[in-house]
Amino acid sequence: MIVGKKWAGPALALTLAMTGCGGGGRPAAAETFELTETTPAATGDVASVTWALPAGEPASLDPARTGDYSANTVGTNLCESLLRLNTDYSTSPGLASEVTQRDATTVVITVRDGVRFWDGAALTAEDVVYSLRRNLDPRLASYSAHVFANVASIDKTGPLEVTVRFRTPDMQFIPDLAGVPGAIVEERFATRAAARFGTASGGLMCTGPFRLDGWQSGRKITLKRNDAYWDAGRRAKAATFQFVFLTDSSTLTSALLSGEVDGVYGAPAGSIAALRKTGAGRLYFGPSTETVSLGAVAADGPAADPRIRQALDLAIDKGSFVTSVLKGAGEPLKTFTPPLAWSGSPAKSVYDAGYAALPDTAKADLGAARQLVTDAAPSRRDLVVALPAGDQSLLQTATIAQAAAQRIGLTMTIRQLQPAEFSGLFYDPGLRDGIDFIATTGYLEVPGALYYAPGFVLKGATFNWTHYDNPEVTRNITAAVSATDPAASARAFVAAQAIYGPAKLQITLAESYNRLFLNKRITGAPASFSYISSAWAALVGQA
Amino acid sequence: MIGFVGRKLAGVVATIAVASVVIFGALYLAPGDPASLLAGGHEVTPATMAAIRARYHLDEPFWAQYWHWLSGLLSGDPGTSMAGNEPVTALISARIGTTALLVAYASLLIVIFGVAAGILGGTAGRAVDGALTVTTTVLMAAPAFVAAILLIWIFATELSWFPVFGSGDGFGDRIHHLTLPALALSGGYLAYVSRITRTEVRTELAADHVAAARARGLPRRAVLRRHVLRNAAPPILAVSGVTVAGLFAGTAVAEQAFGVNGLGSLLVQSAARQDLVVVQVLSLLLVSAFVVVNMLVDVLNAALDPRLVAG
């Protein structure tokens, strides 16, 4: 996602800084990148798989404390959600056999019958109510609290029925249940473990195709197959699945090449060339919701002027950005919501048409950009772009923006902020003083065109830092989040996007393809970014 | 001698006490609100932020926070990791053995090969000395992370003699896993110790008493052992001691590069997450290790050469 938690893991960034160009990759300008949503299905079981987590050891596996690469990559195989996320970002029933939007402010969840936790206890409506309500507790400080911001009540309304009521309509809620916000844990176990729930010593109790077997702090997390898994068709193919923490990209690449590690999501971009050449396995590229952007964060000054943002957008050549920073493994985007977000929606065609109609600014147009700057006649021409310290790819991104700004008569200063300072920007307007743009990467872990837009474009919304206010946009977004018909919602969204898109509240540079490496002995893992919210490891088996 | 050790010990305690204030103060003054990281980076209500601040005493004045921390440390409870909700003692005890083994391994390499190479360079002919000088220059110039990349490429990927990453289980396997990290860690220090040793040996060889001993017709080995090495030993020991003490800080790079789960990689990871509670304890631990090893070297030197006690 564009905001907050989703910028690339600081641990990874730090080691990239230390190893420099250790990966030894060369920009793959002339190479082609074939995108695939899935890898060939596994032909049989395997005894064990060793998987690397390039973002390091997860801080916690408690779904309420899960919201980054490592925790999601591991945790979604353990604690399942009410809905399942498919490789095309469509959803299917999961622990809920059905979720229905009864009216604009009521969602009814039917809990699947016959599901058991790893300890043999049956999944109940109480567990579902407990798991969802946890996100409302300020002391728990759930990472998913924002998903529940409009929720008025969560109650059991039948033996296997839970009803969620809303203060204001929120069409994004149901798709959010396909991610960590909809993950279900056992109430009895979680209340007993209390603060230790989801840690190395506290453990977990969920229903997933794997159970947590061991977590040796700093060394590895081991999952064991859940042989009593409720969905026979999705029983795990690997008897054990081990996760190791390899944040150094050159060490990770060596471990993949030598076969010590079987696979990884988010293979180092700098090692694309080496990983494509090796006979040890295969590097896949999949569609993704990961984006790289420059976000305007100032309520006044040049960045608050749409013409300056448009000028900067036009000055940056997105194609060369993809080549130099993403090593070719990505493509320019027209707006901050990437198309994979809606590719599984019944109203896909409406969204696609709306996206196609947006102006294409992928190629730099310095003449038009300079004209916009002249028209805007900004009060000052010096801008500040902030980024989290140590993130090499964001530093490259900011450097590209800096060069582009210079070509259109603006000066841009790069300011690197410590992690706590950077994350503080999202809560404390005072910390944004003197900063015009931030460079961020982000992703959507759930489907939904409405995941980003309301927070960025509505008056007074959390991330509307430029105080963007357009009545037409507000009317359409409000209609989109209130509509119970997907097509009607899509039409309203597209109408709003046609207006706010060109205003470039976020200068979205590109989508970064999902990079999956699999050792030649295994296959089956989804190649699309959907792994971030699905029990993907269950599919990995013998090649 | 007891007075000497007592004075040294008092110095160690004072140094660690000052270090604790400096470390705590530096992280207190570090920019940014750690509560914002703990909140997970999404939209958060003021109530949530207040709950986080209260839990970690982030809303209290500096000395109150310092007192919470210090009294916890002294009572054996250094607190709970902010990022992982795990007790810091659990995080450290899971890793301290690996780091201690790595430091011991690297220390042995440094002392044995560093001193041996130095003596060889000081006593052997020009060709051997020249070769050693080139080798040590290269070793001194190569940072640990560069050495790590090379070692992994040659010995793990190409030759498959050693694993690429990890810490191993059981003593033999751990030594197998820690060999490349220990080599990467010790390279620069080893070269440094060998240079110092060579210079000391050369100086002693040129000294009058050595010339006299030679003139008396003492065998070469005896001259070397009794006159050269005995006099060269204190400075070599002092330098080796400081070097070994410095290894604790060097483990951060080596452990990170080889995916070894020691205190160094924990420090890097915790610093990246701005997990203040863990960073504070680890920093203090590293400072303490450095100070204590230095003290031990001083005491050892004094035992070898009682004249130092008087000074």
- pLDDT(A363) > 90: yes
**Model pLDDT, residue B45:** 74
Query: Residue A13: its pLDDT value, please?
Result: 31
Distance CA(B194)–CA(A31), nearest Å, equals 49
Report pLDDT digits (tens) over B239-261: 888 888 888 888 888 898 898 98
How confident is the model at residue A443, as a pLDDT?
Answer: 94
Q: Which residue segments constitute the domains of chain A, with CATH numbers given? A: 12-75+208-287+516-543 (3.40.190.10), 79-205 (3.90.76.10), 291-512 (3.10.105.10)
Which residue of chain A comes nearest to B262, CA vs CA? A218
CA distances from B112 to A519, B116, B117, B191, B194 (A): 41, 6, 8, 12, 10
- Which band of pLDDT confidence, cut at 50, 70 and 90, is reported for residue B310? low
Averaged pLDDT of chain A: 91
Inspect the interface and report whether the beta carbons of B33 and A424 lie closer than 8 Å.
yes
Chain A residues with beta carbon closer than 8 angstroms to that of B282? none
Compute the average pLDDT of residues A483-510.
95
- State the pLDDT confidence band at B53, using cuts at 50, 70 and 90: confident
Average pLDDT, integer, range B170-189: 91
Optimal mutation site among A219, A221, A416, interface B, most CBs of chain B within 10 A: A219
| pLDDT score recorded for residue B309 | 66
| A4 closest CB neighbour out of B41, B45, B157 | B41
pLDDT reported for residue B158: 84
Question: Which residues in chain B are closer than 8 Å to A245, comparing Cβ atoms?
Answer: 259, 261
Please tell me the distance from the alpha carbon of residue A130 to that of residue A140, in angstroms, as a whole number: 13
Per-residue pLDDT tens digits for A204-220 = 999 999 999 999 888 89
- Whether A195 has a pLDDT exceeding 90, the answer reads no
Nearest to A196 among B36, B44, B85 (CB): B85
Helices A249-258, A10-19: inter-axial angle, 10-degree rounding: 90
User: For position B147, what pLDDT does the model report?
Assistant: 87
Residue B235 reports pLDDT greater than 50: yes
Q: Please answer yes or no on whether B257 and A5 come within 8 Å at the CB atom.
A: no
Helices (H) and strands (E) in chain A, counts: 16, 21
- Cβ burial A286-313 (10 Å sphere, 16+ → b, else e): bbbbbbbbbbbbbeebbbbbbbbbbbbb
pLDDT above 90 covers a percentage of chain B that reads 21
Whether the pLDDT of residue A27 is over 50: the answer is no
Tell me the shortest Cα–Cα distance from B207 to chain A, in angstroms. Answer: 46
- CA nearest to A248 within chain B: B257
The alpha carbon dihedral of A78, A80, A84, A89 has a sign of negative
Distance CA B22, CA B27 (A): 9
Q: Is A137 exposed, middle or buried (0-12, 13-18, 19+ CB in 10 A)?
A: middle
Alpha helices in B124-262 (DSSP H): 126-141, 144-151, 171-205, 208-215, 220-222, 230-257
Confidence at residue B294, expressed as pLDDT on a 0 to 100 scale: 85
Assess whether pLDDT exceeds 50 at residue A9.
Answer: no
The distance in angstroms from the start CA to the end CA of chain B is 12
CA angle A95, A98, A101 (to 5 degrees): 125
Nearest-Cα residue of chain A relative to residue B92: A217
Residues of chain B in contact with residue A14, where contact means CB-CB under 8 angstroms, are 268, 271-272
pLDDT bucket at A26, cuts 50 / 70 / 90 = very low
Reported as half-sphere exposure (CB side, CA atoms, 13 A), residue A16 has a value of 22
Judge whether A521 and A262 are in contact, CB under 8 Å: yes
- Per the listing, tokens 């004075």 go with B7
What's the gap in Å between the CA of A454 and the closest CA on chain B? 13
B202 exposed, middle or buried (CB, 10 Å; 0-12, 13-18, 19+)? Answer: middle
pLDDT, tens only, A395-412: 999 999 999 999 999 999
Q: Are A449 and A139 in contact (CB under 8 A)?
A: no
**Cβ <8 Å between A11 and B269:** yes
* The pLDDT of residue A319 is above 50: yes
CB A401 within 8 A of CB A385: yes
Kindly tell me if the per-residue pLDDT of A541 is higher than 90: yes
Cα dist from A106 to A158, A164, A177, A480, whole Å: 15, 6, 14, 16
The reported pLDDT for the residue numbered B249 is: 80
All residues of chain A having their beta carbon less than 8 Å from the beta carbon of residue B262 are 218
List of chain A residues whose C-beta atoms are within 8 Å of the C-beta of residue B273: 10-11, 59, 419
In the prediction, which pLDDT does A310 show?
96
Flag whether the pTM goes above 0.80.
Answer: yes
User: What does the pLDDT average to over A8-18?
Assistant: 32
Structure tokens at A46: 């395997």
| Residue B261 to residue A218, Cβ atoms within 8 A | yes
**Mean pLDDT of all residues belonging to chain B:** 85
Interface predicted TM-score (ipTM): 0.83
* pLDDT tens digits along B128-138: 888 898 988 88
A415 interfaces chain B, CB cutoff of 8 Å: no
A460 lies within 8 A of chain B by CB? no
Say what the pLDDT of residue A120 is: 96
Please enumerate in sequence order all residues whose Cβ is within 8 A of that of A489, keeping only pairs 6 or more positions apart, or say none. Answer: A171, A347, A450, A479, A480, A481, A483
- Whether residue A136 lies within 8 A of chain B, CB to CB, comes out as no
Asked if the Cβ–Cβ distance from B38 to A141 is below 8 Å, we say yes
